[in-house]
Amino acid sequence: MSDSQTAVHVLKHHFRDMEQQNETSSFGMWVFLVTEIMFFGGLFCAYLIYRILYFDSFAAASSTIDVKWGAINTVVLICSSLTMALAVHAAQLGKRKVLVGFLIATIMLGGVFLGIKAKEYHDKFVEHHVPGPSFHFEVEPEMAEKFHAIDPAKTEIFFSLYFLMTGLHATHMVIGFGLLTWLVIAGSKGKYSPIYYSPVEMVGLYWHFVDIVWIWLFPLLYLISRHH
Amino acid sequence: MSEHIVSPKIYVLVFMALIIFTGLTYGIALINLGPFNAIVAITIAMIKTLLVILFFMHVKYSPKMTKVTVVSGFFFLLILVALSLTDYISRPWAGYYGGGSAKPANNK
Amino acid sequence: MATTVAQPVEKTNYLNADYGIKSWLLTTDHKRIALLYLASVTFFFFIGGFFAMLIRLELLTPAGDLMQADTYNKVFTMHGVIMVFFFLIPSIPAVLGNFLVPLMVGAKDLAFPKINLLSWYLYMIGGAFALYGMINGGVDTGWTFYTPFSTTYSNTNVSMVAIGVFINGFSSIFTGLNFIVTIHRMRAPGLTWSRLPLFLWSHYATAVIMVLGTPVIAITLLLVAAERLLHLGIFDARLGGDPILFQHLFWFYSHPAVYIMILPAMGVISELVTCFSRKRAFGYYFVALASIGIAVIGFLVWAHHMFVAGISVYAAMVFSFLSYLVAIPSAIKVFNWTATLYKGSIRFTTPMLYVFGFIGLFTIGGMTGLFLAALGVDVHVTDTYFVVAHFHYIMVGGAIMAYLGGLHFWWPKITGRMYPESWAKLSALLVFVGFNLTFFPQFVLGYMGMPRRYWQYPPEFGVLNILSTAGASVLAVGYVFPMIYFAWSLRYGPKASANPWRAAGLEWTVPSPPSTFNFDETPVVTWEAYNYDEIEETEEAEVVG
Amino acid sequence: MSRALKELEQDGLRYMLNFPLLPDRASTLSVHVDALYFFLVALTLVFSVGIALAIVILAIRYRRERQPKPVPIEGSLVLELTWTIIPLGITMVIFIWAAAIYFYETRPPRGAMEIYAVGKQWMWKFEHVEGQREINTLHVPIGRDVRMIMTSQDVIHSFFVPAFRTKADVLPGRYTSVWFRPTKTGRYHLFCAEYCGTQHSGMIGEVVVMEAADYQQWAQSGTDGSLASAGEKNFQQYGCAMCHRSDTQGRGPNIVALYGKPVLLDDGRTVLADETYIRESIMNPGAKIASGFKNIMPSFEGQISEDEMVALVAYVKALGNGMANPPAPVANPDTGVYPVTPNKEPSMVAPNQPKPAPSQPKQK
């Protein structure tokens, strides 16, 4: 289809021109991301306050999480952010195959991330650190030496917040997969062109936001006084 | 904003910076800096967030209104955290049970 | 800006453009969605009102004799949940706002029509969850869901209703998102911010609060549901959690939520007071900026609900000081409305009666707010009927009065029919009298120390409660009247012209009811807001009422 | 009384005609709160009547018939400034006045008489230091500062006496306090003001203010020893004496004359040893470790009930203040075994000799 036809077909009836439509959709996406900031913000605020109240228990609980996998996951997610950004770039230039390639790469990296996350959850399950009736926290000697005031009941709060925050983040990634697969299908049909690519950009903004949430989760949850 | 096409070179540069900062925050966490550990971790996370927002999310090239929206989002989150902390931090000042003389009550 | 007195030939408008269930349930036309909201909001209003009558009947006598104690607890909880989350928050923004924002802005529709329909469906799904929770045995935690009662000690459908409110929260997030983007990006050429009607200023401020506040209560209710289902210890003192943290997170949204309820009402009042005084809004900039001021400072004051909850003395001082700052913009608005009447040409139509009622009662409501922000007095009166009277003066005396005033004012535009003026004036009077008789005695009860949510009370509070119940029955009649004559007006009401009140505003330049795409060609705005002096000179069209 | 009133009196409707409009004034605080309340009522009257009059006058004077042509007025900056600055000034005056009352109300004077209260779903349990225990009624002497130290066994309650104008939420897991000095004898309502479940409206009671002599006589009669002595029994029963000894070899800190003193913790913080610190150190000792000691004390959460906890706290507060020091541990008569602290073998004397007990804090 020639460019003008796609433009007419794609321009919604209540917008004056494509420029207004694109600006409106991206501004709308940013307002939605502000609600996501406040949504995760409530959890971060609860985490911050409990961390101040029970620092030693939080530090002890955090020391049982393998920081190596957390770092690898951060790198994986940053790579997926890169591939997502390049996908948006490809959509802007109308390169259909490159767009679909990068979208699939983003999905793959996301999959790797969730795989590592599942492994970490499994480790926690094995160590009985999943909050609930089966929860049991063993205070190892070197932990007790480094952090004096460890209270096993308070470590359960850390793990509750750990599973809630990383679980909410993982849920947002699964939603991201849904959006990305929809983009892959529509992209391979050539729906996106240099004139109309705002859906790709919207999902890009969403994906980068999910990456930012992890950028904050990694130091807050994994790096509580790891020094010896 | 949507018109402005960012060259992949910038994306790769930003990507490298993010990886380096991740390594940095991991490395610094292993050194005992006392209270500064948390401050450094938070500043590095802020820098990484800024990088992602400005370049990956094109806010650097967006109209002013998008920048205002982003800043207001983080500002109101700051209000929630800061004003809640005014309660939690100031509780021990007036005697833990929220009342009573701050000076130790010698009951003699 | 000539108003065409068109012959009422059967022109196609948004109502008769399409027929059938699908045309309503799958519509993306903001006007039809507004009518869907009107129906569902009215449905929930009468359920909440029914529970209110049950409460008042129970409190007629000091002893708890109409119903069991836990039934009474469920009744006042559902009264609170339904009225707050399913009537007051959506009423003006979703009904009047949805209908009028695109028209006033000069656009064909809101920025995201499909998301607008989604927000109505989320509202209905949330409502279904809440109603199912109610039918399935109700919830007895109070609309505030305070922990640890709501998480560990209540065995009613707390999770069901909490998830219902959670889903309903996203409905108001998407409405807020739609309004912000529409007002920013889709204004007609020439419609600068200083020419925006004050209705849009207040809806813009409301939308900002909806977008920034609602997610926090969404996550808080999610934590309550998670704690109930997975036995986590986030707010359970025995496991190290802190019940006061729940109150911080809850009130961080729930106080700005009361500004979500009152700001749209203020917008409606600004429109009505200017139209029926035939004058520009007095101090337009100050009233507009006061809306934004209320929205921003509204986020700093939440802990004045918690002065006795166990927060520290110094935090209480900080929040009390900030609570006094948020009172100032409301005072500015009241003074400006009153000043607008000066040297105007005032007509006593029904909407204007509601304006007089609003300004009077909102002033009393606002002033009693100063009692509650005063630390010394608040310790005595918090959690008593003084608080109940204060927020009912603001919500019922303020928000519902403005909602009824706005509904009467824009009814000809929405349906193309005029409502019966004399019946409407009678019901306005009934509402005013019934309201004051219901809630003024509760101020006295409050200071005498009658606590909130009491199923039975000491006999010396008996007489004032009898007065209050008497008032409630008058108020109920006052609310039933509009239902009747609005329905009557759909069939028999006289046809309304495009601008029956000769009001200023883009929504009055299109025929009533407007066509599906509002404007045939995008209007160009060359006049200032509320240019009634120009309207006066141009023509003397026949005036209704 | 008129005949009609007498009839009403008979069939129990005595409040039909002469119902009160203001609560009694029975505490020093009520006078201050009432003064601010009347000022605010007057202010509300002024503004509400003022606005209502303005509306009525303007509406009538400028109705359409008398004023067909409206006069366009934009607004006036002077007017806007006046009705911004004047309300700001008034609100600041109210804020400072109210904050002063609040500051007076939340700071119990030193040497106030203490009464412990435990809120439980739908009843109040009061325990006087002299040992009297009461349900739902509270006897207090007139003219003396009374400080309520309250905690809840389950949900949040709120101790509210309208006649004293005081209210404080009663939270689970920590102590909150409220204080008042009764100035008028009589019986006053006691309400629970925070919604707490089915019988929330049944969780009421009476505060009986008595003459000082009557109170003294009432308090002494029929008690099986003071609260602190009950606390001492618990102190022995739970084996606290094993580690917390008045001489300094015990594994736990010496708690004689601990109450009210700042305690240096091992992470460098200093906290005030108040009731909540004592309670928290018993319920979960891991939270705050006195400097120089190890985290070896087991948690007694769930083993000690709130009533026993109140007695223990009263005992610890009485130590070094008119109460004998804790005696050496008493072997169980029949088994001859010292009460061993649960699930932790008493280790030999701690390797590093514990530094002097924290009750003599190092001067910073």
CB contact under 8 A, C374 and D94: yes
Asked if residue B36 and residue B67 are part of one domain, the reply reads: no
Is residue D352 very low, low, confident or very high in pLDDT (cuts 50, 70, 90)?
A: very low
Model confidence at D8: pLDDT above 70:
no
For an interface test with B, give the residue of C204, C208, C297, C312 to mutate (most B CBs within 10 A). C312
Neighbours of A135 (CB within 10 A): 18
Question: Is there a single domain that holds both residue B69 and residue B86?
Answer: yes
Closest by CA position to B80, among listed D75, C505, C251, C168:
C251
At B43, the amino acid letter reads T
Q: What is the DSSP letter of C459?
A: G
d(C-alpha C173, C-alpha C171), whole Å: 5
Would the pLDDT of B38 be above 80?
yes
**Residue ending a domain, choose from D197, D220, D243:** D220
Is position D258 within any domain? yes
**Same domain, yes or no, for B71 and B56?**
no
Q: Distance (Å, rounded) from C-alpha C116 to C-alpha D23?
A: 52
- Residue range D23-36, pLDDT digits in tens: 889 999 999 999 99
Asked if residue B51 and residue B79 are part of one domain, the reply reads no
Q: What is the ipTM of this complex?
A: 0.90
Pairs of residues, one from chain B and one from chain C, whose beta carbons lie less than 8 Å apart: 43
Residue B49: inside a domain: yes
The pLDDT of residue C158 is 94
Query: Is residue C519 classed as helix, strand or coil in its secondary structure?
Result: coil
Q: Are residues D190 and D232 in the same domain?
A: no
Mode of pairing for the β-strands spanning D133-135 and D123-128? antiparallel
Angle at C387 between CA D41 and CA D196, to 5 degrees: 145
- Looking up residue D49, the CATH number of its domain turns out to be 1.10.287.90
pLDDT tens-digit series, residues C168-186:
999 999 999 999 999 999 9
Looking at the predicted structure, is the pLDDT value of residue D363 above 50? no
Is D4 domain-assigned? no
pLDDT digits (tens, 9 = 90+) for D137-172: 999 999 999 999 999 999 999 999 999 999 999 999
**pLDDT: which is higher, C152 or C128:** C128
Q: Give A228's contacts in chain B (Cβ within 8 Å).
A: 30, 32
Cβ–Cβ gap B93/C319 under 8 Å: no
- Residues of chain B with pLDDT > 70, as a percent, come to 83
Query: Are B58 and B72 members of one domain?
Result: no
Whether B105 is in a domain gets the answer: no
DSSP line for C297-356:
HGGG-GGGG-TTTT--HHHHHHHHHHHHHHHHHHHHHHHHHHHHHTT--B---HHHHHHH
CATH number at residue D268: 1.10.760.10
Q: How many beta-carbon pairs under 8 angstroms link A with C?
A: 101
φ, ψ for residue D341 (rounded to 5)? -65, 135
Q: How far is CA D107 from CA B39, C154, C203, in A?
A: 36, 35, 44
Tens-place pLDDT, residues C418-476: 999 999 999 999 999 999 999 999 999 999 999 999 999 998 898 999 999 999 999 99
Summarize pLDDT for D62-88 with one digit per residue, the tens. Answer: 998 998 888 888 888 999 999 999 999
Question: Which residue shows structure tokens 């507009």?
Answer: C288
How many domains, in total, are found in chain B? Answer: 2
> Residues D162, D27: contact at Cβ < 8 Å?
no
Structure confidence at residue D116 as a pLDDT band (50, 70, 90): very high
User: Does residue D16 have a pLDDT over 50?
Assistant: yes
Say if residue C336 is exposed, middle or buried (CB neighbours under 10 Å; 0-12, 13-18, 19+).
buried
- Within a domain: B33: yes
Structural domains of chain C ordered from first start? 35-538 (1.20.210.10)
Please give the pLDDT value at position C11: 75
Chain A residue with the nearest C-alpha to that of D288 = A149
Q: Is the pLDDT of residue C5 over 80?
A: no
Q: For residue C533, what pLDDT is reported?
A: 82
Residue B20 falls within a domain, yes or no? yes
User: Which tokens sit at C508?
Assistant: 């009055």
* pLDDT for the residue numbered B95: 55
Q: What is the pLDDT of residue D327?
A: 61
Let me know whether B27 and B78 are in one domain.
Answer: no
pLDDT category of residue C321 using cuts at 50, 70 and 90: very high
Structural contact between residues A173 and A210, judged by C-beta atoms closer than 8 angstroms: yes
Domain harbouring D151, CATH code: 2.60.40.420
Instruction: Please tell me the least confidently modeled range out of A173-177, C247-251, D287-291.
Output: D287-291
Banded pLDDT at C197 (limits 50, 70, 90): very high
Closest CA to A220 of A75, A41, A84: A41
* Under-50 pLDDT residues of chain A: 1-3, 5-6
* pLDDT, position D285: 82
**Hey, which residues does D118 pair with through a beta bridge?**
D125, D151
Inside any domain, residue D346: yes
Nearest of C386, C202, C252 to residue D167 by alpha carbon: C386
What is the β-pairing status of strands D205-210 and D137-141?
parallel
Query: With an 8 Å Cβ cutoff, is A153 touching chain C?
Result: yes
Last residue of a domain, one of D64, D81, D105: D105
Dihedral (C-alpha) C196, C198, C203, C204: value to the nearest 10 degrees?
A: 50
Determine the Cα–Cα distance for residues A58 and A61; give it in Å rounded to an integer: 5
Q: Which amino acid is at C189?
A: P
Reported as type and span, the H/E element at residue D306 is helix D306-318
Is the pLDDT at D337 greater than 70? The verdict is no
Asked if B17 and B30 sit in the same domain, the reply is yes
- The answer to whether residues D359 and D286 belong to one domain is yes
* The pair of three-digit structure tokens given for residue D171, joined into one six-digit string: 């939270």
Residues in chain A within 8 Å Cβ distance of B31: 227
Helix axes C350-373, D77-105, angle to 10 degrees: 40
Backbone φ and ψ for C417, nearest 5 degrees, come out as: -125, 150
The average pLDDT across C55-75 equals 92
> For C70-127, how does the pLDDT look when each residue is reduced to its tens digit (9 = 90+)?
999 999 999 999 999 999 999 999 999 999 999 999 999 999 999 999 999 999 999 9
Tell me the nearest-neighbour CA distance from A12 into chain D, angstroms: 40
A157–C233 CB contact, under 8 Å = yes
CA-to-CA distance for B8 and A86, rounded, in angstroms?
Answer: 7
Average pLDDT, chain D: 82
Is domain A44-222 in CATH 1.10.10.10, yes or no?
no
Same domain, D232 and D364: yes
Closest by Cα among D154, B98, D255 to C317: B98
Domain membership of residue B68 (yes or no) is: yes
In this prediction, residue D13 carries a pLDDT of 65
- Please determine, for residue D2, whether its predicted confidence score (pLDDT) is greater than 70: no
* Half-sphere exposure in the Cβ direction for C65 (13 Å, CA): 4
> Are the CB atoms for C213 and C256 separated by under 8 Å?
yes
Q: What is the mean pLDDT of residues C487-511?
A: 91
Residue C542: the pLDDT is: 47
The pLDDT of residue A147 is 82
Nearest chain C alpha carbon to A39: C215
**Pair D173, C116: CB distance under 8 Å:** no
C-alpha distance from C511 to closest chain A C-alpha (Å): 19
B18: domain range?
1-62
The pLDDT of residue D12 is above 70: no
Q: How many angstroms from the chain centroid is the CA of residue D46?
A: 36
Q: Is residue B106 part of a domain?
A: no
The span from the CA of D364 to the CA of D359, in Å, is 14
Same domain (yes/no): B53, B72? no
Cα(C395)–Cα(C146) distance, integer angstroms: 22
Tell me, yes or no, whether D13 lies in a domain. Answer: no
Which of B15, B49, B84 minimises the CB distance to A78? B15
Domain assignment present for B41: yes
Beta bridge partners of D208: D139, D187
- Could you give the CA distance from residue A143 to residue C181 in angstroms, rounded to a whole number? 52
For chain D, how many structural domains are there in total?
3
Interface test with C, best of D94, D177, D276 (most C CBs within 10 A): D94
pLDDT score, position D72: 85
Confirm whether D6 is domain-assigned.
no
**DSSP assignment, residue A194?**
S
Residue C290: pLDDT band by 50, 70, 90 thresholds?
very high
Collect all residues with Cβ–Cβ distance below 8 Å to C520 and sequence separation of at least 6.
none
Q: Are residues B1 and B27 in the same domain?
A: yes
The pLDDT of residue D330: 53
* 3-state class (DSSP) for residue D5: helix
Pick from A149, A150, A153: which is nearest to D288 by CB? Answer: A149
D241 in the same domain as D360: yes
**Residue C27 contacts residue C51 (beta carbons within 8 Å):** no
Residue B96: predicted pLDDT: 43
* D298-313 mean pLDDT: 83
pLDDT, residue D364, reads 30
Question: Can you give the pLDDT at residue D5?
Answer: 63
Is C230's CB within 8 Å of A132's CB? yes
Residue pLDDT, tens place only, D125-146 = 999 988 888 999 999 999 999 9
Quick one: D354 and D311 in the same domain? yes
Residues B70 and B84 in one domain: yes
Q: Are D359 and D261 in contact (CB under 8 A)?
A: yes
The length of chain C, given as a count of residues: 545
Residue D211, domain extent: 113-220
With CA atoms as reference, report the closest residue to B94 among D147, D168, D167, C311: C311
Please name the amino acid found at residue D198. Answer: T
Reported as a single tens digit per residue, the pLDDT across C154-171 is 888 999 999 999 999 999
Measured CA to CA, the distance from residue C475 to residue C45 in angstroms comes to 13
Q: Are B49 and B95 within one domain? A: no
> Do D295 and A144 count as a contact with CB atoms less than 8 A apart?
yes
Taking 70 as the threshold, does the pLDDT of residue C254 lie above it?
yes
Q: Do D83 and D179 share a domain, yes or no?
A: no
| Residue B104 predicted with pLDDT over 70 | no
Q: How far apart are CA D264 and CA D358, in angstroms?
A: 7
pLDDT tops 50 at residue B12: yes
Q: Do D358 and D231 have their domain in common?
A: yes
In a domain, D239, yes or no: yes
What angle do helix axes A18-53 and B64-90 make, rounded to 10 degrees?
A: 10
Cα–Cα distance measured from residue C442 to residue C447, given in angstroms and rounded to the nearest whole number: 9
In this prediction, residue D249 has a pLDDT band, given cuts at 50, 70 and 90, of low
- Write down which chains contact chain C via at least 3 CB pairs under 8 A: A, B, D
pLDDT, tens digit, for every residue of B55-99? 999 999 988 999 999 999 999 999 999 999 999 988 877 654 433
Nearest to C198 by CA among C259, C256, C285: C285
CB-count burial class (<10 Å; 0-12, 13-18, 19+) for B101: middle
* Closest residue by Cα to residue C479 from C45, C2, C115: C45
